[in-house]
A and B are shown apart, each in its own frame.
Chain A
Amino acid sequence: MGRKDLVTYNNILKYICMDLSRVLEDVPTQYKKIIEEIRLRNGSPMNIYFNNKDYFITEGGALTNEYRKGILVDKEHIDETFQLISNYSIYAFEEEIKNGFITLKGGHRVGIGGKVLYSNGEIESIRNISSLNIRIAREKIGVSNKIIRYVTNNQNTIYNTLIISPPQCGKTTILRDLIRNLSNGTYDSNGRGFKIGVIDERSEISGMYNGIPQHNIGLRTDVLDNCNKQDGTMIFLRAMSPDIIAMDEIGSISDVKSIHEILKAGVKVIATVHGDTMEDLLSKRSLGLLIEDRIFKRYIFLNNSRGVGTIADIVEGDGFTSIKELEEVSIWGL
């Protein structure tokens, strides 16, 4: 596990300009394995982020809290890094740049900040890049093994499930692993695998790069990359005949409509949403409808009270009672 994390980190360095990657190379190995984000901002010291804390990096690769000691990022660093990230071909990533991020090989994502240019009321491009946020995707295979029994039922099908969590607590990771488990059919020894359609609006679940999913999402999984949920729903229902449709970060009215469409077609849904508690969800108009209609039968709440990926609660969706039997630990399998 640790070795793989190290390789991942070293692969990322290829996308960072030489001046900065040289410094990042000198970071102590124990940190290399757990760094989640590398942030470059024009005129500010380089920043890394892990375990909910951020650090600057000194010239020699040591971590520090004092920003004065951190290595400064200038415009050239950002431009060069951006060239490397886009493979010297910004024109080839126009659509991605419009969405504000580029997916790298390996499923890592780079968020972009800069001057947004509009044309005809739509974002045309982002110029004068001022910040880059390199998010290192660390696949956690097996994190859903303990919760899969809450999602499946005896009739060889699954419950419509909603995963709720604040940002950076692992909802996409859990969703991805659930998809993998259900798709492979490994959740019990004689279980069959489900056909799963993933609507991957932000290329986060599958980490699609050149048409190849960079994460393990199972044997029976089809992906619509970069596709919005409404269109994705229609495409899947028309001819892909999925058993389950999975989507990330629902919230808008149109998402709710899509979910109704899916249910009408007799297909199950797994989705994630930003939030903390049931009250929090009910307060959102569109989601409130879904919950009151008892559409979801399982709610999985995550937080990071015991580290990223702590299962805070699992609630069944008819009487809204907790059915969790797990202890409150992070299921990141540390």
Chain B
Amino acid sequence: MGFIKLLGSLLILFSTTWMGFYHGSRYSSRLKNLVYMEQCFKMLETEIVYGATPLPEALHNIHRKGNRKISFIFRDIREHLMEHGRGDIFYSFSSIIKPLKDDLHFTAEDIELFLSLGRVIGSSSRRDQEKNFQLILNQIGFLQEDAKDERDKHERLFKNLGILTGLAIIIILL
């Protein structure tokens, strides 16, 4: 009997701890992904401003060179663009809102910034594009700081909360 109780308690503890860690890790993964995103944006800027590479090709290059964790979104945008060919790039950018949110743990603010790139990219001269990129990179810096704060605040909290909730449940049940 005691053995089953112990097993049950451990099971509860494991699952709540896992939940706590999972929830907490969303914050650090958001931060990481924002950093990768910044790198990809910088690469994209170089392709556009210095290389004057046509956008579909530039997106392809970022997919190849960028960090694997997030570079798939550039492939998806390109594919969407080529497939639909509506002459509207913002439409293709907004087609990947779901993976941004679910897979990369981006917040509404992050996604808004990402979409704001979709509104301006490709649609003006190189000098203009450079300015837009600067603005967006600047903002992504703020978002990273925000993500860092959030992580420091919440990651520990959720992890501890997971363990403690598990312990609390076990005590109540025992």
Contacts and interface: CB of A to CB of B under 8 A. Distances in A.
B92 to A, nearest CB: 9
A86 B123 CA distance: 9
Interface string A83-96: 11011111110100
Interface in A41-91: 79-84, 86-91
A90 B85 contact: no
A124 B49 CA distance: 16
Contact of A94 (B54, B55, B123, B125): B125
Contacts, number: 61
B87 A90 contact: no
A124 B126 CA distance: 11
A88 B81 contact: yes
A18 interface: yes
A91 B125 CA distance: 4
For A83, A89, A94, A125, the residue with the greatest tally of chain B CB atoms inside 10 Å of its CB is A89
Contacts of B85: 14, 18, 84
Contacts of B81: 88
Interface in A107-134: 124-125
Given A90-B122, A91-B48, A84 B54 contact: no
Interface residues of B, number: 22
B107 interface: no
B145 interface: no
A75 to B, nearest CB: 12
A54 B81 CA distance: 34
A125 B125 contact: yes
A127 B46 CA distance: 24
Given A80-B88, A83-B88, A91-B48, A124 B125 contact: yes
B74 to A, nearest CB: 13
A253 to B, nearest CB: 32
A83 B87 contact: yes
A127 to B, nearest CB: 8
B121 to A, nearest CB: 8
A212 to B, nearest CB: 15
Contact of B89 (A18, A81, A83, A125): A83
A88 B56 contact: yes
B87 A87 contact: no
Closest 6 CB pairs of A and B: A80-B87, A88-B55, A83-B87, A89-B54, A89-B55, A91-B126
